[in-house]
A and B are shown apart, each in its own frame.
Chain A
Amino acid sequence: DSGVTQTPKHLITATGQRVTLRCSPRSGDLSVYWYQQSLDQGLQFLIQYYNGEERAKGNILERFSAQQFPDLHSELNLSSLELGDSALYFCASSVAWSSGGAGTDTQYFGPGTRLTVL
């Protein structure tokens, strides 16, 4: 158990709909990353938040958005869903890396949310 939780585990919805995926990072981790895993694209970075602020963006579609709340949990919102959005969505968290050199780059992944768009 990585300590990262994601809900729901499975999500089945129709094209055009909107869904919200939720992630709770490990206790003490300030950074949250979202990744998408599909058969054709592999594991791809979507977006990163650190302590409530967006820090890095990958190949995230404009129909997708995310945020990190004061309690550090994060939500990934997917709207106007298309068949091609069907994938596994993973959240990962890592401890803050300080300028003093302490910390780690290790990212701990949650169990994922399997999204199926019909």
Chain B
Amino acid sequence: QQQVKQSPQSLIVQKGGISIINCAYENTAFDYFPWYQQFPGKGPALLIAIRPDVSEKKEGRFTISFNKSAKQFSLHIMDSQPGDSATYFCAASHRRGAGGTSYGKLTFGQGTILTVHP
């Protein structure tokens, strides 16, 4: 029930195209859905995140679409650039307890290797 499933495993896009990565979750207690970007030899870096009270969030070329009823969310990268070539991870977490400290352990998808050709 803690699983987050991510697809595709790899994605090749031409420069200027749209990259779409999808994730599905099972645990309805999840209330925070971030996407992380990881370059080789580096740690994951937060790209954009969404909470289930909104269906879409946009930051620059990056958009998260969220479908609470389907328990799915996706990352759209518009005008993809060669510099976007990296591994992308979706994740999910939930707070526990009434107030107090956020536990927030992240459950990650398996990752998508994005290659943007010039």
Give A residues with C-beta under 8 Å from B.
2, 4, 30-31, 33, 35, 42-45, 48, 50, 55-56, 58, 90, 92, 94, 96-100, 103, 105-112
Within the complex, which residue of B101, B110, B111 is in contact with A55, where a contact is CB–CB below 8 Å?
Answer: B101
20 A-B pairs besides A4-B43, A106-B49 with CB distance below 8 A are A33-B104, A43-B44, A43-B106, A43-B108, A44-B108, A55-B103, A56-B103, A56-B105, A92-B43, A96-B102, A97-B102, A99-B98, A103-B102, A105-B49, A106-B34, A108-B46, A109-B43, A110-B43, A111-B43, A112-B43
Interface CB pairs A-B, < 8 A, 26: A2-B45, A30-B101, A31-B102, A43-B44, A43-B106, A43-B111, A48-B103, A48-B104, A48-B105, A55-B101, A56-B103, A90-B44, A94-B102, A99-B98, A99-B99, A100-B99, A105-B102, A106-B34, A106-B46, A107-B34, A107-B46, A107-B106, A108-B46, A109-B44, A109-B45, A111-B41
Tally the A-B contacts, defined by beta carbons under 8 Å: 77
Q: Are A90 and B43 in contact (CB under 8 A)?
A: yes
B positions within 8 Å CB-CB of A = 32, 34, 36, 41-46, 49, 89, 93, 95, 98-111
B104 partner, pick from A43, A44, A94, beta carbons under 8 A: A94
